[in-house]
């Protein structure tokens, strides 16, 4: 007797199907509909940015631990923050809190230049190695205190913080173009996602939704 085995789908197709489901059920259904943003999420494999033992959960609707008591945010929150920045292809963007590098890779699909800062050496090293495979130069990933921004690369059209602060850091506000947008989680335990707009020398802020991020780390003990 001869047994015939049904051919298995290539792993790459399974991964794409999971990303398609993630985009449809977690992102589009929550009213993030920018096509460029959705395409970036379809292209960038989230599983490449999480530890080996968590890859099977990569497309689930939740944050995942990446070490150093840090997490990769749930897909919807990454998509929401990205879409609110209204990124155009000519933008120069600063990301504060590289973490796993997933948000960085998404931004890289949408903007001209992306610069990212991470304060933890192990996360910086891991993210830089991963992002290099996505065509992001390692010199664009800096190990430093994100509160201070990246003065040598300013000004930035958009700035995104992936860790919570009590208020928008003054150093980052100085490096934001006018007009420009900044998005950041504000607060300690009870946090609100804030969209900040700089226009004609004035700063306005809009509350978006409640969120839960790790708190920003600084190397300056006076902060």
Q: How many CB atoms lie within 10 A of CB 9?
A: 11
Chain centroid to CA 182: 13
- Would you say 87 and 78 are in contact if contact means Cβ atoms under 8 Å apart? no
Q: Count the alpha carbons within 13 Å of 139 in the hemisphere toward its beta carbon.
A: 2
The pair of three-digit structure tokens given for residue 86, joined into one six-digit string: 């209204």
**193-to-87, 96, 183 alpha-carbon distances in Å:** 18, 15, 7
CB-based contacts of 172, cutoff 8 Å, min separation 6: 94, 96, 147, 149, 159, 161, 182
Active site residues: 73
- Would you say 175 and 151 are in contact if contact means Cβ atoms under 8 Å apart? yes
């Amino acid at each position: 007797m001869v047994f015939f085995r049904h051919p298995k789908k290539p792993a790459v197709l399974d991964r794409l199907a999971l990303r398609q489901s993630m985009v449809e059920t977690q992102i589009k259904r929550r009213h993030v509909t920018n096509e460029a943003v959705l395409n970036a999420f379809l292209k960038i494999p989230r599983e490449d940015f999480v530890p080996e033992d968590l890859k099977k959960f990569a497309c689930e609707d939740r944050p995942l631990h990446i070490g150093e008591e840090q997490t990769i945010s749930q897909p919807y929150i990454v998509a929401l923050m990205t879409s609110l920045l209204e990124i155009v292809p000519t933008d120069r963007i600063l990301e504060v809190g590289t973490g796993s590098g997933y948000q960085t890779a998404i931004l890289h699909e949408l903007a001209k230049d992306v610069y990212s800062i991470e304060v933890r050496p192990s996360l910086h090293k891991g993210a830089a190695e991963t992002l290099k495979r996505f065509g992001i130069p390692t010199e664009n990933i800096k190990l430093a205190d994100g509160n201070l921004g990246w003065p040598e690369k300013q000004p930035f059209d958009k700035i995104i913080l992936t860790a919570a602060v009590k208020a928008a850091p003054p150093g980052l506000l100085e490096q934001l173009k006018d007009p420009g947008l900044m998005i950041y989680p504000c607060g300690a335990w009870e946090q609100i996602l804030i969209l900040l707009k700089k226009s004609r020398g004035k700063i306005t802020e809009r509350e978006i939704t409640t969120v839960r991020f790790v708190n920003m780390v600084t190397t300056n003990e006076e902060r």
